[in-house]
Amino acid sequence: VSVQHGTSSRQAWGMSVGQLAALLDALPLDLTYVENDGTIRYYNGNTHKVYPRDAGLIGRRVQDCHGMTCDARRQVDQILHLFASGGSTERVTVSREAGRTIHVRYVAVRGADGSCIGTLEVTQDVTHIVGHAAACPTGCGLARQPHENRGEVSAQMPREGA
């Protein structure tokens, strides 16, 4: 399948659209693509859903989803504006919900000219990862790499016992 990106075209690894969709659905992540105006245009259909989603989301404004509070809507609007203005490339949040640790990464999707054309939201339940790391005070061989600051804003989850 040939993928058009801006004015350039490239081969998408010799995959069909169906294969690419299956690959995205196999990821243990919720992927959602939101255009600059806040309209949801894509989400993957994985079986590891962090939050339930249905086909009715496509075409809706992201601000109208998740039974958002005014504060959540304000945060979404801030992220979309921040990315559109070129002020940042990603933002990360971590929260605890119903005994789970949820990691959400928002990534600015840029067109060929560098302008922001939308936002990719990547959501993952990382409870098992956090639990594994907490059970291994020496790191259990997990490599710790410094975080490259690219203008993102991160919310740090408090450590147990800290």
Does residue 77 come out as left (phi exceeding 0), alpha (psi in the -120 to 50 range) or beta?
Answer: alpha
77-81 contacts, C-beta under 8 A, 24 or more apart:
77/38, 79/106, 79/119, 80/34, 80/36, 80/38, 80/119
Reported confidence tier of residue 87, pLDDT bands at 50, 70, 90:
confident
Q: Are strands 90-97 and 153-154 parallel, antiparallel or unpaired?
A: parallel
> pTM to 2 decimals?
0.73
Bigger pLDDT: 118 vs 130? 118
Reported confidence tier of residue 137, pLDDT bands at 50, 70, 90:
low
Instruction: Locate 79 and state its tokens.
Output: 């992220």
What's the CA gap between 36 and 108, in Å, rounded? 10
Q: How far is CA 155 from CA 94, 105, 122, 151, in A?
A: 6, 11, 15, 13
Residue from 21, 2, 18, 20 nearest 10 by CA: 2
pLDDT value at 153 more than 70:
no
Q: How far is CA 139 from CA 52, 131, 132, 146, in A?
A: 33, 12, 9, 15
Percentage of the chain lying above the pLDDT 90 cut: 31
